Amino acid sequence: MITRWLVALLFFAGLVVVWYLVVKAQIWSPLLLPSPLSVLDYLRAAAQDGTLWEATLVTVRRLLIGYGLGLLAGLPLGLLTASSRWCHDTIGILALGLQTLPSVCWVPLALLWFGQTEAAMLFVVVMGTLWSLIIATDNGVRTIPPIYSRAARSMGSTGLHTWTHVVLPAALPFLLSGMKQGWAFAWRSLMAAEIFVTILTGFGLGHLLHYGRELNAMDQVIGVMLVIVVIGLAVDKTLFAPIEQFLHRRWGTARA
């Protein structure tokens, strides 16, 4: 376990060293490729004056609300499309179609409908999450071997009991990967929305990124990108990894 951590640590330290050496070699202008140290300086300054924390908070709050709404609607709709042919032929096809739409394409529509408001942000996140979640849930439930339901029925399980005690737990590995995908989509949509939509109710990480470009502040651009990556990783490791590990232990699937 410790060696695995060590290997990961060495790898990323190595990346930073390579970055540093490339900057030292002065191949590109420092305006285009700032050194790791100046990025660190920016992050320290932004953390001290609070802009970084505030932006992170605003972004994460939007993300959680939007993702939560997406889950709340997506999971039941996915179960619905999996259990009823009518729903599959209607909502299922709608979801399949809209899922192919890159989430940034929702931004113009959201702006016209909601103006430069928080609602526009959430709308883009929900649209980015919902459809892929519906499809992942639907696929998950359909992939369950029918023998589970038959065995449960033979033991006297019916209706709601079968859903809560057999179908949902059996679909859990698929639901989880759907939720992970949904999370990644939510993250992408929100960043797209924040970069394109300037609103006054909250200044998120996407905005910091956008203004980094406007001000030609490459240290800010790279610094914020790093923060976005770190948040994504942290969520994966704290939110999804424990559930995944539990699933691997129980199901006996390959260990990550």
Partner 1 sequence: MLTAEHLPTHSRAAKLVLEHVSKWFRTSSLNVHALDDVTLRIAEGEFVCLVGPSGCGKSTLLNIIAGLERPDRGIVQADGQAIIAAGPQRLMMFQEAALFPWLTVLSNVLFGLKLSSGLSAGERRDQAEYFLELVGLKRFMHSNIHELSGGMKQRVALARALAPNPSVLLMDEPFGALDALTREQLYGDIQRIWTQHRKTIVFVTHNVREAVCLGDRVILFSPHPGRIREEFAIPLPRPRDINSVELARYATEITRVLKGYVQPEVAG
Q: What is the spatial distance between Cα 240 and Cα 179, in angstroms, rounded to a whole number?
A: 9
Single out the residue of 44, 61, 165, 237 in contact with partner 1 (rule: CB under 8 A): 165
Q: Confirm or reject binding of residue 242 to partner 1 (CB under 8 A).
A: no
Of 44, 61, 142, 153, the residue at the interface with partner 1 (CB under 8 A) is 153
- Comparison of 188 and 248: residue with beta carbon closer to partner 1: 248
Residue 168: CB minimum distance to partner 1, A: 9
The site for partner 1, by CB under 8 A, has a size of: 20
User: At its nearest, how many Å lie between partner 1 and the CB of residue 225?
Assistant: 39
143 binds partner 1 (CB under 8 A): no
Burial of 49 (0-12, 13-18, 19+ CB in 10 A): exposed
- Interface region with partner 1, contact rule CB under 8 A, candidates 65-73, 119-127, 193-201, 246-254: 246-254
Interface residues toward partner 1, by CB under 8 A: 147-148, 150-157, 161, 165-166, 169-170, 172, 249-252
